[in-house]
Amino acid sequence: MKALYFSMLPPDHQALKDNASSKFSVMGATVYAAEVLKALLRYSNYDVIYIPHRNKLPAGDLRDSELFAINASRIKLLAEHEFGEMRRADHLILASPKQYFSDLIRIRRLCGRPETPITAVIHSIDHARQLLAMLDLVLSPLKHFDALICSSRAGHQAIMNFVNHLRNRFARAHFGELEMAIQTPIIPLGVEIEDFMFDSSAAPTQAGCSVVHEPTILYFGRFSMASKADLFPLVVVFAELLESHADAVLILAGDDTQHRLARELESFAGDLGCANKVRIVPNPTILQKRQLYRQADVFVSISDNLQETFGITIVEAMAAGLPVVASDWSGYRDLVVDGETGYLIPTFMPKYPRQFDDFRGGNMGESDLLAATTVVDTKRLREALERLITDENLRRSLGQAGLRRARDLYDWRRVIAQYESLWSTLAEEASRPGQGMTTDQLDLTGWSYEEVFGHYATTLIRSDLRVQLTDRGRSWRRKPEMLARVAVPKSWFCFTELCRILDLLEFKGQSAIRDVFATGDDRRNADWTDERCAINCFSHLCRLMKYGLVEASPSPETGFGT
């Protein structure tokens, strides 16, 4: 008998969102847990799927679903005192949809199967205390037949960078050499591709009547500058795009239960004079989500923060046959083939002084200064969007290529087959037990965002980068109400400092970043040996770059402006 223990019974996020879309928050890890369990029930070859017994949820309990009813004969709900039943399996895997092993190690002991493989899956790995969490991988009694599944190459490299951090800390503490026993395979997340496919020959309608179609750009994702993407620069780019393409429409849709940004986005679009062309759709239902994909012509996602390791909405858009314009960031690179299924827009991560790592809280619900100053190239973003909304044949070609890629790589049938192949391999290796690790304690207090995640961005913004004022920057310097929009949150950004930088660049012209502030008669002159001062000046300048008010001077070496 082949058996799989799935370590949680997640809520059915689709049912919850449909019943109370404005109350239920959608988080990627939660969505994945529910969707991978559904996919296992639909497509896996395991005879029995064990699930921990939990109290019934008042709404959104998967046990009430038709899928559970169909699979009732092979689903076994176990209380902890019943874990010994799993000993009967000829082949047993313990799988967690999360990235932590400690509970499954305990269950491995409880079920009396010490040679049973354990697998977990990474999600957001950017918390300030992540290095401490990584001790779970190297100090816990994990073995060579256990695995941490990474959803992208970028996520995998970040995990390896964390491990190297630990090795260095161990060496400095004279703990000796550190080895990680587990495997770290790369398997992407999955999507029910057919759920997002539609007949492209059917004309979109509104209120039951055919309408003249307007080129529609869609963003779908969580409304969060801290844990998804800053959408305000996208609205700026779209407003300028309307100057030459007045028929275009931008739809911003997604979960807005945490930060309540919908009204602020609407107000910002109004300030830019494009409110009638920007549609904000907070907290859509699952059906509305699929309708939005059908209505769109182009999908855009400009993630700029460290929590993103994959990008499930990009795969959904590909399944809907949409060309994708995405930031050249993290796992997005695995999804979008530049020039073939869409376009990757260069990103630029500030190279802050080392002390910056102590300023970052790293909680997903909090504002993130690094994300707020990481730049997605607005000029290249506009070019890509303009190219696609004006060329229907190009949209169709890239969209169909994306659909083929989604079917071949990200359909849940393909992903579950990869999981089962991995589990089979691990089970074969389980006859060769690994050696235990030491349990010595270390004081691990932080990690460098640059050393771990510096590869996410196309290029790092260094203090010797030459920058210049843009036409947009000159225009907005005379519009204090617009510049005030950039100076948020006020806990980090000062309106007068932004004005000062624009004035300095107007006076100096093209300059290296550190030289912008090198004014001998100015008491606020940035001392780049004073890290706090340097961070303050650097972050304000990068914030201006993020909105396209300042840009890098054209240079083949930097990749900016070329």
Per residue in 427-460, pLDDT (tens digit) is: 999 976 553 333 443 444 467 889 999 999 999 9
- Residue 287 domain-assigned (yes or no): yes
Average pLDDT over residues 211-233: 88
* Residue, of 412 and 364, whose pLDDT is higher: 412
SS3 call for 327: strand
Per residue in 281-335, pLDDT (tens digit) is: 999 999 999 999 999 999 999 999 998 899 999 999 999 999 999 999 999 999 9
Give yes or no for residue 355 having a pLDDT over 90.
Answer: no
- Residue 319 domain-assigned (yes or no): yes
SS3 call for 149: strand
- Residue 557 domain-assigned (yes or no): no
Of 358-362, 411-415, 514-518, which one has max mean pLDDT? 411-415
> Quick one: pLDDT at residue 60?
84
- Residue 322 domain-assigned (yes or no): yes
Average pLDDT over residues 197-201: 69
Provide the number of structural domains found in the chain.
3
pLDDT-based confidence at residue 133 (cuts at 50, 70, 90) = confident
Tell me: do 294 and 354 sit in the same domain: yes
Tell me: do 420 and 405 sit in the same domain: no
| Domain boundaries, position 527 | 462-552
Strand order in the sheet with 375-376: 375-376, 347-350, 459-461
Give yes or no for residue 39 having a pLDDT over 60.
Answer: yes
- Residue 402 domain-assigned (yes or no): yes
> Quick one: pLDDT at residue 523?
44
β-pairing, 216-220 vs 209-210, is unpaired
Question: Percent of the chain scored above 70 by pLDDT?
Answer: 89
Residue 164 near residue 135 (C-beta atoms within 8 A): no
Tell me: do 281 and 342 sit in the same domain: yes
Cα separation, 472 vs 548, in Å, equals 7
Give yes or no for residue 468 having a pLDDT over 70.
Answer: yes
> Quick one: pLDDT at residue 213?
73
- Residue 84 domain-assigned (yes or no): yes
Residue 228's nearest CA partner among 71, 27, 528 is 27
Tell me: do 202 and 266 sit in the same domain: yes
Residue 205's nearest CA partner among 287, 289, 294, 316 is 294
**2-6, 24-28, 30-34, 466-470: lowest mean pLDDT where?**
24-28
Tell me: do 186 and 228 sit in the same domain: no
CATH number, domain containing residue 357: 3.40.50.2000
- Residue 441 domain-assigned (yes or no): no
Tell me: do 265 and 343 sit in the same domain: yes
Of 80-84, 194-198, 389-393, which one has max mean pLDDT? 389-393
Per residue in 519-557, pLDDT (tens digit) is: 655 545 555 567 778 888 999 999 999 999 999 988 655
Tell me: do 47 and 185 sit in the same domain: yes
Average pLDDT over residues 13-30: 72
Tell me: do 385 and 424 sit in the same domain: no
Cα separation, 525 vs 435, in Å, equals 57
From residue 402, how far is each of 194, 216, 332 by CA, in Å?
14, 18, 13
Residue 367's nearest CA partner among 473, 261, 491 is 491
Question: Percent of the chain scored above 90 by pLDDT?
Answer: 65
Tell me: do 236 and 379 sit in the same domain: yes
Q: Which residues, other chains included, contact 434 with Cβ-Cβ below 8 Å and sequence gap of 6+?
A: 142, 143, 144, 145, 181
Tell me: do 86 and 148 sit in the same domain: yes
> Quick one: pLDDT at residue 520?
54
Q: Sign of the C-alpha dihedral, residues 254, 37, 192, 347?
A: positive
Tell me: do 297 and 335 sit in the same domain: yes
Average pLDDT over residues 123-148: 86
Residue 344 near residue 332 (C-beta atoms within 8 A): yes
- Residue 398 domain-assigned (yes or no): yes
Length of the chain counted residue by residue: 562
Residue 40 near residue 14 (C-beta atoms within 8 A): no
Tell me: do 183 and 203 sit in the same domain: no
